[in-house]
Structure 1
Amino acid sequence: MGVSSNSDSFGPLQSISDGATLVSENGMFEFGFFSLGSSENRFMGIWYKSIPVQTVVWVANRCNPINDSSGLLTINGTGDLVLLYQNKSVVWSTSLSEQVKKPLVQLLDSGNLVLKDEENTTSEAYLWESFDYPSNTFLAGMKLGWHFGKGLNRRVSAWRNWDDPCPADFTWALEFDAEHQASLEAYMWKGGKKFQRSGPWNGIGTSGVPELSANQLFDFQLVSNENEHYYTFNTRNNSLISIVVMNQTTSTHQWLTWIEEEKSWNLYASEPRDLCDNYGLCGGNGNCVIGNNPVCQCLKGFKPKSEENWYLTDWSDGCTRNNLLDCKDKNTDGFVKFLDVKMPDTAYSWSNRSMNLNECRDKCLSNCSCMAYSNLDIVGKGSGCVMWFGDLIDIRKVSSDGQVLYVRMPASELGKSGAKVRVVIIVASIGGLSGLLLLGYFIWRTKSKGRNRKTGDQEEDLELPLFDLSTIVTATNNFSTSNELGRGGFGPVYRGKLKDGQDIAVKRLSISSGQGIEELKNEVILIAKLQHRNLVKLLGCCIKGEEKLLVYEYMPNKSLDSFIFDQNKAKHLEWGKRFQIICGIARGLLYLHQDSRLRIIHRDLKTSNVLLDKEMNPKISDFGLARTFGGDQIEGNTNRVVGTYGYMAPEYISNGQFSIKSDVFSFGMMVLEIVSGKRCTSFSSQEDLTLTGHAWTLMQQGMAIELLDSCLRDSDHNLQEVLRCIHVGLLCVQQRAADRPSMSFVVLMLSSGGHVLPYPNRPSYFMETESPQRYPESSISNLITLSETEAR
């Protein structure tokens, strides 16, 4: 017998078939069968009934979908909740350890699906509950952590994608070490490695995100006793709807609140928040400070283990002490006080709740392995003791509400000035032979450190490996034409293989290039500073006579344009991968605009300048035309307009004005190309529209999906995802720069399926005849490059 309409529970003689649902008493949540995106697979789970945007918060059969409507949920003879396929195969069950006399399944107002024994009248005496087995969503009242009696480790794991709720490799869990009595803290894991850490609980909140703990919307709590260790949160206002979602696409953990007036989810907070939230970015004994250049600094009394890597912005080796500790006499060592920091990783720590801070200090001094100490709890005047052993990992500067860390120092370091030692070289923006000599000097500096030369006003840090010409000649088979990967505006690119077997791509600056030395110097200076998974990695340089070479990591799948504009290859670039590429490019561009050591405007973004690694991950390349800014500066002007027509923003062509919004324009054009498989520079339609004009017209007619590449229309794709990308692309190519979104908002729009997007204005370049020009036709060919293929 099926359940009655709008019931919140059912018993042994009832069942739920596909089409029937349970609804919580307050009407907030619904439980039953559903499909995701464009997939026809059927899943069983819980979603918000009161919200018009499909928001699934829990899935039972995450990796075992049903491919028809024969699913049936029932209670078997032992009291287990069982999901059957075609009335025989068990797809999912609760697997209770004991038989239930009078089982009842109920969907609670909290969104928790529970199985209980009606004969047991004890409140919350649940035999099984969905809250113990989170999906990708953390609801108010749920518990993140351990229950030892039940043998549970409640962790939240991202879906593989919006059509597939099977757990991906991005998870959020509470970790503890009972043997060492370490503090409790939550980690995000990516691919089996620590990805982000919020810091240990300090009685009020987590030490790494004090501003979240001080909010007026949520109450956070850590419960730690002999039976359980867990984090939980509740909303202070019962009318507030809020969730935490693990997003595999953006690798973020997002706090979302529902805005009823806008009928959309609003991003309240997101982690990682910035570069310093990346786990262990500065290595052992390093301190990450957003706003500093570089963001990573060694703690006072420490120095980089590898100065060469440190100034190449590879901080993973961390820092080592200037002088060793003297453990013979505890009175010779002392401590340096660091204010407002995120406490180090507690994986190698020890804690005691009853000790005071003075006792904690003495105990640390009595153990030669103790490197630092602090209060365990900062409520009131503080209490408890936590001590760290070995390298101090994942420290960062936080707001003024942060915690105090006492780091052990030898007597020789106590009282020393905290002045920072920085190796600086000065760069002048000069060209010709003097520019070449200066660039040679920059690179030669890796062999002769510590020399300074003043030739201008702009300061740059640079260290980069120098390759011998003979090594490059051997690797590329003497620049054989059979090794040539493509040819760009400044010369050919060759594939090579070093003696150790590493594949490389060598960019050979053409001797006849009159502009090349400036662009080469610019690229060396910029890329040496950049570290991001969606930016191409520069391995080194070679300057010898007339030869000027850049050595990059090799991208086996060449450039993005070689896929999306090739009818045969495009078929293999299914929508899910295209969406990941769009999101990857967006994250790389956000890093350039906001999170890198310098604010960088690329100025030549196009599909041929996006390379693909062996796993088809996108990497932005070719920084020869890029410009850097400091502070809050986001735009500039030039009399020399360079780039590729079609990708260039109208204000750049007409006035020479470039900004982060001109990069956004180029990104939007690429999004429309990736979706459609059509080049923006060669698109034509019966109405004589450009690619942007065609897309905008289709959107107005409610036919935006017609823009999708014809080779994908009969394959599986997420309809809402495709439409969202078209919408975002059109927002990015609006005529006025001020109307275009920032890349931070672009990333949010791409990752948040429930966010209501503003409607785009009529795009630039609507008709083929509307190309804005400031320069005479005779000179424009010298300023704007055509969209040639630049494969790698």
Structure 2
Amino acid sequence: MKIGWNLKTGLNRQLSAWKNWDDPSKGDLTWGVVLGTTPELVMWKGTTEYYRSGPWNGERFSGKTTSLFQLEFVSTNDELFYTYNLNKDSSLITRVVLNESAYSRQRYNWIPENQTWRLYSSVPRDYCDNYNLCGAYGNCLVNESPPCECLTGFKPKLSRQWEALDWTEGCIQSEEWKCREKNRDGFQRFSGLKMPDTTKSWASGNLTLDDCRVKCWQNCSCAAYANLDIRGEGSGCQIWFGDLMDLRVASVPGQDLYVRMHTSSTGSSNKTNSSEESSKRGQRKKLVVAIPVSFLLVLMIVLTFIYLYWRKRKLREKIENISQERGDEARENKFELPFFEFDTIVRATNNFSSDKRLGQGGFGPVYMGTLIDGKEVAVKRLGHMSGQGVREFKNEVILCAKLQHRNLVKVLGCCIQGEERILIYEYMPNKSLDSFLFDSSQREILDWPRRFNIIFGIARGLLYLHQDSRLRIIHRDLKTSNILLDNELNPKISDFGIARMFAENQIEANTKMIAGTYGYMAPEYAIDGRFSIKSDIFSFGIILLEVVSGRKNTGVFYPNQGFNLLGHAWRLWKEGTPMKLVDACLGDAFTVSEVLRCIHIGLLCVQLHPEDRPNMSSVILMLNSENNTLPQPKEPGFLIERMSINEAGKTSSDENKINSSTNEITDTLLEAR
């Protein structure tokens, strides 16, 4: 049998559970292969990820135990699937089922002597197999109590919750590393781990492990790296971006993960000290002992340096005290926003009560508040544990003070007191666009006229940012959750924490620290760190296609051409059936020419090369006019490819096919667990 995809027909072979042993209608539990940079076996409860096998490493899925079976993973131009054959006893009869009542994938073997089926194995196997039990950078050890601990060099993000056995918030770095700064960040090797969730990863079969380390170190968003294929001495490269999710001690050792952290935690820097350098240090020590005069000279220099440093520090403290006395006035002049007292915010939010909480932003929670005059506001409180948050907070304050437009969320003021950093926004009662668009109970409220109005409003807001405001602003994190809706469902762009200002004649810029949301990032930004107004255009194109279809770009897989919404839309366009993309809940209540034009514009916005994408003034012109002949779109960028699998560890002269298999034999798993 095969579990996986027929890439030519789009057939997805997966298992679905019965509702119960007597009712064969489809239950909530499904099990199949997820396509991405490195495929994995995943089990879902409904739409929630429940269990993950870990990525294929050339021998097995990294979180899977050994068995009586020969496991095989096959990737060709036509198919991508996982299968198994008997290793030891060709007469053995075995079957695999999904058990809805036990929420597990179970394997049974037939026992001829007893004429019964005996349970051989089951996943999830134990508590640690539950998806992401210990949160980001949390490692699950099934034989420990409690089972969750932070990786070496990390600490609980919220200590009280962690002590109360709530590990959902995970861990953060004990000491923040500085990207690419000499002798500040390095890598710690962890052995025998199940590899992290590969949703935010990149892979290549052509790089060595040393090349992989260099590539990861040069990308400030890279959190870890490992070999793609562990056979022999290992080959290929896989790197992870963002937080490392769903870690546990694997039941089968053999794969190392190299996690980025500050050198004080790794005990080493990026450069390994050579024996020659060690010898030189030894010689210097001997020299100090042998020549007391030199030692005294060095001591005098050090004492002089300490004295000068002390004088400089005292002077700086004096200047800071003077500046602090004038702080309120200086902040008012700099930020150009009204300042609120912290006590006022505490009263407005009932001391940041949980029942006032609206959601979680990129750098902290957002609360609903009511001011003394009865005005409702949204209060964004910067999280104390957010290392980069202060910079983003100041960035957002300065930008929002200068930006005023009907399709941008209005910032009413801010609060700075001690470690507290707070922004006060106008309150949006309908929350964000994604809460309507991807909710089966809410999406029908968004009929086509409302959806078109939302598309047009977002376009007007972007035009203002890119062209009509006093500053040229690149948002860099445009997505449906950052589009808020007012009482009349009019869209307002929010969250300018990572936005960047451009000079009037500036076209693009580069960054070492890539920030944003995967699935909305333009390829040139996600891969090379290059951003411009055209990277915002790409994000707008993704949002436009999501609004038309009512489906997310990522997290849902489609047959053929990319296996995400973007690839699905491109395939329908090439086949001449783009109207199949339209959200089914709209029925026939829409203008065909208007919807078709929106799909056309969306595909123009997501073209691979930035120079091919239109600017926002052209987009608005195309949205306004039904008579314009639009150019034909070229192939989109950032489709999910299978190149990492096809490049990894080729074992055949056939360039289009790889058969990676291993014989895993043990006699210790014959009893049910």
TM-score, L = length of structure 1: 0.40
Of the two structures, which has the highest relative contact order with CA contacts closer than 8 Å and spacing of 6 or more? 2
TM-score, L = length of structure 2: 0.47
More helix by share: 2
